[in-house]
Chain A
């Protein structure tokens, strides 16, 4: 569900604006190029992107909101709902699947208390997230670490050679 009761834009700080200005300055030829950087900035800061975020970013870049919304709906990385504090992205693709990533993903779900069969409702939605808001778990495609499969990206950390039996110890580190 997209939350419309809070307005993320009301919580923008001067530091946030300064960071946005810095990012825009990396694109001297066309401000529009700063769309993705500003979306990343927003999602890193607020966890997801609400309507006020889309409007704010568009205004900074002299665009209309739909120019930003169409990016949010295209790229799998962006979401319009709150995800867990820790997002566990298990690689699903062939090399990792050969090395047992389907079992590893199931173990992650069990270790954080999610139903392994709960579906990810697709682009824009948050991946399945625990009720306490601590963890989300999802499958993603090849993380470019196929030589140390199976792997997962947990927040900013790449975790390699994951054994099903080692999953709960990994989860402990993020509790």
Chain B
């Protein structure tokens, strides 16, 4: 398994990957305990559940799974004493193209996840939890299950954890090769043993009608791991690493045409896109220039080299003013990328240089979405397939004069008209590739 650079880049700040990158670090519990393992859990068990939730809120932790929802707010939807069973399900389905951080955490530091999960469960009155791991990580499932057994044997899980009276059982559940199971309500259906069709929201918000129709929290692997560090560092220290609305560190996964692809744990908003590409990742390959960036997993809207954005910033007199910001000066935090019309999403940054064909790239993504639509909603089931057929035909036979218009029309009729956010996810690539690279479609009309 590709490993982290032994010495972190100066822009990096390794919290989640702090232990993993130490020489000789192993996923067993003894190693974890010699590295301060389960100390945050001990601390948490001395606090009131509400205090822990307040810490997570004050830490400005946003979900790392794609939607960026504030974790503390999500947890506070669960009413501690409502007399119902509650569940936490960890989303370890990691399938968004361009994203590859959770895999390493699961394989190399499973106890970090279990500790964060035990703290989260204690704060929200949860006694049964599942970790949903995609089945393409068969070794991770074994490693995590083994870690659960180790933690149980040492009293960090199971009945009466460390004498606190708090009980928690955790199990591993494996998916079966469907991307849609990463969508949280699909994941819950899958975990219930049903066809994983996403549920309609409202009323089926997981916090209200989740697993077995009980209040449920679904969080990404990395999100849950951060909880441990919020307890260890204190919310203020933790929040300070990031920007006001986006606390802590985020693992940026960089792939595509850079010299040093890989994942880098960086304070939220701690690098610009230019620094990430040219400095952290060693720049583009010799003689190449940048063409396109997909900044937050394959569903995020593509950005074109040379674009300039008008971003709202505070001026000298405190008034909000428009500031012209070139693409490479965008900072990689949630609100900046949103203002640039795209998203930080799952942290998967895909880089393409001037040798790449944008219709080819879009076609690759369209084939992915056509394959992965669950088929429940007509616009998504048909639309994703049509988009894929059109771009495949353009690749094979050249474009017809109205292809671009038709593609846009199909995409525009999916986004906003479906049960789950896959509808947007599959429409955004087509919409943004057409908007940003119209020339590449036009030149194929023959």
Contact = CB atoms under 8 A, between A and B. Distances in A.
B191 to A, nearest CB: 6
B128 interface: yes
A77 B135 CA distance: 8
B365 interface: yes
Contacts of A94: 97-98, 256, 298, 350, 361, 364-365, 368
Contacts of A147: 2, 100, 253-255, 261-263
Contacts of A95: 97-98, 255-256, 261, 350
Nearest to B298: A94
Contacts of A140: 136, 177
A34 B102 CA distance: 24
A40 B193 CA distance: 13
Given A93-B365, A95-B261, 12 more contacts: A36-B174, A71-B176, A93-B97, A93-B368, A98-B257, A142-B179, A142-B298, A144-B137, A145-B103, A146-B97, A146-B100, A147-B261
27 contacts: A28-B128, A30-B212, A33-B192, A36-B174, A37-B173, A40-B176, A76-B176, A76-B178, A94-B97, A95-B97, A95-B98, A97-B364, A98-B255, A98-B256, A98-B352, A141-B97, A141-B372, A142-B96, A142-B179, A144-B136, A146-B99, A146-B100, A146-B253, A146-B255, A147-B254, A147-B263, A160-B1
B196 interface: yes
A32 B194 contact: yes
Contacts of A27: 171
A104 interface: no
A39 interface: yes
A7 interface: no
Interface residues of A, number: 44
Contacts of B190: 36
B348 interface: yes
Interface string A27-60: 1111011111101100000000000000000000
B70 interface: no
B71 to A, nearest CB: 22
B153 to A, nearest CB: 17
Interface residues of B, number: 55
B174 A37 contact: yes
- The listed residue with most B CB atoms (<10 A of its CB), out of A40, A74, A144, is A144
A146 B191 contact: no
Contacts of B193: 30, 32-36, 61, 67, 71
Interface of B: 1-2, 85, 94-100, 102-103, 128, 134-139, 171, 173-179, 190-196, 212, 253-257, 261-263, 298, 348, 350, 352, 356, 361, 364-365, 367-368, 371-372
A98 B130 CA distance: 35
A161 B352 CA distance: 18
A70 interface: yes
Contact of A141 (B100, B191, B356, B368): B368
A119 B222 CA distance: 38
Nearest to B371: A141
Contacts of A162: none
A111 interface: no
A158 B1 contact: yes
A132 B352 CA distance: 41
Contacts of B137: 144
A167 to B, nearest CB: 19
A19 B397 CA distance: 53
B94 A144 contact: yes
Contacts of B194: 32
Contacts of A97: 364
A134 interface: no
A60 B262 CA distance: 44
Contacts of B99: 142, 144, 146
Contact of B128 (A29, A89, A153): A29
Contacts of A39: 176
B70 to A, nearest CB: 25
Interface in A133-175: 140-149, 153, 156, 158, 160-161
A36 B173 contact: yes
A67 B193 CA distance: 9
Contact of B196 (A26, A37, A61, A74): A74
Contacts of A16: none
Contact of A161 (B2, B95, B372): B2
B148 to A, nearest CB: 11
Nearest to A61: B193
Contacts of B261: 95, 146-149
A108 interface: no
B179 A141 contact: yes
- For the complex of A and B, the 5 pairs showing the least CB-CB separation, nearest first, are A75-B176, A77-B177, A35-B193, A146-B255, A32-B193
Contacts of A30: 192-193, 212
Contacts of A29: 85, 128, 212
- The listed residue with most B CB atoms (<10 A of its CB), out of A30, A147, A161, is A147
Contacts of A74: 178, 195-196
B8 to A, nearest CB: 16
A140 B162 CA distance: 44
Contacts of B179: 141-142
